[in-house]
């Protein structure tokens, strides 16, 4: 989970980014933006709240949803809707369009693979399509009998 340890370093960047998006600056918006800016994968609202709580910031889940909705409307946040009603959010500038769901554990793995992106773009071009956007979700099971051995947190 992202840490807000260097919040002072990122506060001015967060203020600038929120203002640039045309959204008025509030403490909840800055807090949520900072968490998402430091995240290395899309986060669920519960993950955002947990990170804020770990760093001494109290923000209700409804406030987090309100902030997320406003950022999505402003076009600076991407909503990744996943099976089983799970929604993940990431800054629009981050390229999280590739996703693997482990069917055995329910864990999500997010990729930002340039070679895969280029292959999809090439495929579209070769078949007469102009790619506007894409989202790829793969469901998979561990290939070994040891189960899902990757060290990531469940979502």
pLDDT in tens, the chain (155 residues): 444 544 455 678 778 888 888 888 898 999 999 999 888 888 999 999 999 999 999 999 999 999 999 999 988 888 877 666 678 888 877 766 677 778 888 777 777 778 888 888 899 999 999 887 777 778 888 887 555 455 444 44
Full-model pTM: 0.67
Residues 53, 99 contacting (CB under 8 angstroms)? no
The whole-number pLDDT of residue 82 equals: 66
Distance (Å) of CA 145 to CA 35, 88, 117: 36, 29, 31
Q: Look up residue 79 and give its DSSP letter.
A: E
Q: Is 100 helix (H, G, I), strand (E, B) or coil?
A: strand
Torsion, Cα of 77, 30, 153, 100 (10° steps): 10
What pLDDT, on the 0 to 100 scale, is given for residue 84? 63
């Amino acid at each position: 989970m992202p840490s807000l340890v260097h919040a002072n370093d990122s506060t001015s960047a967060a203020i600038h980014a929120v203002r640039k998006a045309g959204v008025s600056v509030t403490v909840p918006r800055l807090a949520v933006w900072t968490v998402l800016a430091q995240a290395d994968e899309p986060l669920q609202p519960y993950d955002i709240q947990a990170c804020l709580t770990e760093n001494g910031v109290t923000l209700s889940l409804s406030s987090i949803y309100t902030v997320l909705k406003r950022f999505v409307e402003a076009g600076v946040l991407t909503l990744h809707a996943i099976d089983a009603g799970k929604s993940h959010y990431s800054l629009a500038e981050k390229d999280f369009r590739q996703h693997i769901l482990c069917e055995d554990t329910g864990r999500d793995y997010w990729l930002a693979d340039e070679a895969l992106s280029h292959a999809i773009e090439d495929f579209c071009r070769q078949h007469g399509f102009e790619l506007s956007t894409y989202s790829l979700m793969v469901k998979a099971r561990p290939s070994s009998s040891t189960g899902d051995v990757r060290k990531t947190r469940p979502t």
